[in-house]
Amino acid sequence: MNAELISSYHGVLCVACREPIPVSARVSSLREKLECGEIEAPRTFAARCKRCEHENIYSISEVEDFQGEPRRRSVRARAAIA
pLDDT digits (tens, 9 = 90+) for 6-62: 688 999 999 999 999 999 998 888 887 777 776 676 789 999 998 999 999 999 989
- pLDDT band, residue 80 (cuts 50/70/90): low
**Distance between CA atoms of residues 9 and 27, nearest Å:** 12
Overall number of domains in the chain: 1
**CA-to-CA dists, residue 25 to 1, 9, 32, 63, angstroms:** 32, 10, 11, 12
Please give the residue range of the domain that contains residue 26: 8-67
In a domain, 61, yes or no: yes
Q: Which helix (H) or strand (E) holds 59?
A: strand 55-59
Per-residue confidence (pLDDT) for residue 21, from 0 to 100: 95
Distance CA 64, CA 82 (A): 43
Is 78 part of a structural domain of the chain? no
In a domain, 73, yes or no: no
On whether residue 17 sits in a domain, the answer given is yes
Query: Which strand (E) or helix (H) includes residue 30?
Result: helix 25-35
pLDDT top residue among 72 and 2: 72
